[in-house]
Amino acid sequence: MSEFDLAFSATLTNDAGSFKLLELPPELYKLVETSIEASSPLRLSIKGHAGEDAVLCTDDATYTIRSVVLSNSILVVTPQSSADTVVVRDQVNEILELTPAVPKIHKLSTLLRGREFDDVQDSEDYLPSSAPGLSYAAARAAIQASDAELARGLREQRILDIHGALRPIAPAYLATILETILNYLVSQALTRQQAVSEEDVAATLADENEISRAVSTQVMEWFGEVSDGMWTMDVEAVVREIGLGILRQHKDEPVAKDTLLDKWKDAVGDTFEAKVSLPLLSGNYLVSPASGINGSDTMMLTYFPCSALPIDPASRFVDLFLTRPRWKADEIVPFLSDIAVNTKDRDKLLLKYTRATTDSHGLWYTKK
């Protein structure tokens, strides 16, 4: 066994508290190791404003940073010029533990309130004077999320970048654009999986429907893949968004399932009606029976979007159980997808905040 002389640093008092130990989860350790082996730069960033718990972000994942107190102290030492001497620089009594976290994308809705873009002004240059612009760089600094997660959040929340300012598109206007695109594809006798020129679609929407190219090209990127100037539409994503537009009209007044499906099929047209399916709207509605309307088993749907619920797990479950005292397993799961990193994390939340019971109708969750 090698032996070393131990000495205390002359700057020990100044160095105290300047060292931190960070424990890397396996996937992050592998990322660091791969970066070292490939001699490629690895960018890690710590995000969080005053009053927020800090998170560490890689290019595509977010981790919560949690301090864990050690039962035994660890000394931080560095070699001295003499090969047989090490110098004590600091004493560490805790480690920083990283755990996968859900990105804080929900803050976008607060930061962009009052910035909605629609066709009322019929101009991409229209900016509400009461709401200053928010750039992508500013959002990147404010949102606790990796770059990949932020990009996905902007896409999923349908947020446009207009002249460097982020603006959520009005749902009704988005539905109009998508229905117009479907009509264009049908008029050109194009199949659902056939690629079409992105420029042709944008030009037609601009010339015939006064829809800005800056808007239509971003919408196409949200709902499909663009490669070499050709756009391949994600049919299910388009059909789903149009269905959500119809469902949103029934926040206060329920709609019969069959009525919703009929309106939905009419909106997408004969060519795409085969893709209409209620599961596409999972996590956005509540189901209740309506006795006396075409039979007691008529399903009534009420718009109830997961995105409008609190992001804090404890508050989320409070709201869910205020809405209804008990939930079937398959009904509550869609309302937890955005606050759980994975199914394992989701099951932990259910175990922590609910009580599970089983009867002849299956598994139910009630408030703990």
What sign does the dihedral 277-281-287-292 (CA atoms) show? negative
The whole-angstrom separation of Cα 328 and Cα 316 is 16
In this prediction, what percent of the chain has a pLDDT beyond 70? Answer: 93
What pLDDT is stored for residue 129 in this prediction?
47
Q: What is the mean pLDDT of residues 225-245?
A: 95
| pLDDT over 60 at 294, yes or no | no
Residues paired with residue 285 on neighbouring β-strands, in sequence order: 303
pTM of the model: 0.84
Confidence of residue 198 (pLDDT cuts 50, 70, 90): very high
Residues 177-194: pLDDT tens digits? Answer: 999 999 999 888 776 667
Residue 314 structure tokens: 């404890």
Q: How far is it, in rounded angstroms, from Cα 221 to Cα 217?
A: 6
How far is residue 228's CA from residue 120's CA, in Å, rounded to a whole number? 33
Distance CA 19, CA 235 (A): 53
- pLDDT at residue number 293: 47
Q: How far apart are CA 31 and CA 353, in angstroms?
A: 34
More confident residue, 256 or 125: 256
Beta pairing, strands 196-197 & 230-233: antiparallel
Q: Confidence class of residue 297 from pLDDT cuts 50, 70 and 90?
A: low
pLDDT tens digits, residue range 317-344?
A: 999 999 999 999 999 999 999 999 999 9
What is the full DSSP assignment across 161-209? EETTEEEEBPHHHHHHHHHHHHHHHHHTT--TT--EEHHHHHHHHHHHH
Residue 45 has pLDDT above 80, yes or no: yes
pLDDT at 122 over 70: no
pLDDT at 233: 94
Tell me the pLDDT of the chain averaged across its residues. Answer: 88
* pLDDT computed for residue 41 by the predictor: 87
Q: Among 86-90, 251-255, 295-299, which stretch is predicted with the lowest mean pLDDT?
A: 295-299
Q: Is the pLDDT of residue 356 over 50?
A: yes
Burial 6-38 (b: 16+ CB within 10 A, else e): eeebeeeeebeeeeeeeebeeebeebeeeeeee
Q: Residue 40's pLDDT band (boundaries 50, 70, 90)?
A: confident
Segment among 46-60, 211-225, 294-308, 312-326 with least mean pLDDT: 294-308
What region, left, alpha or beta, does residue 228 occupy, with left being phi > 0 and alpha being psi -120 to 50 degrees?
Answer: left
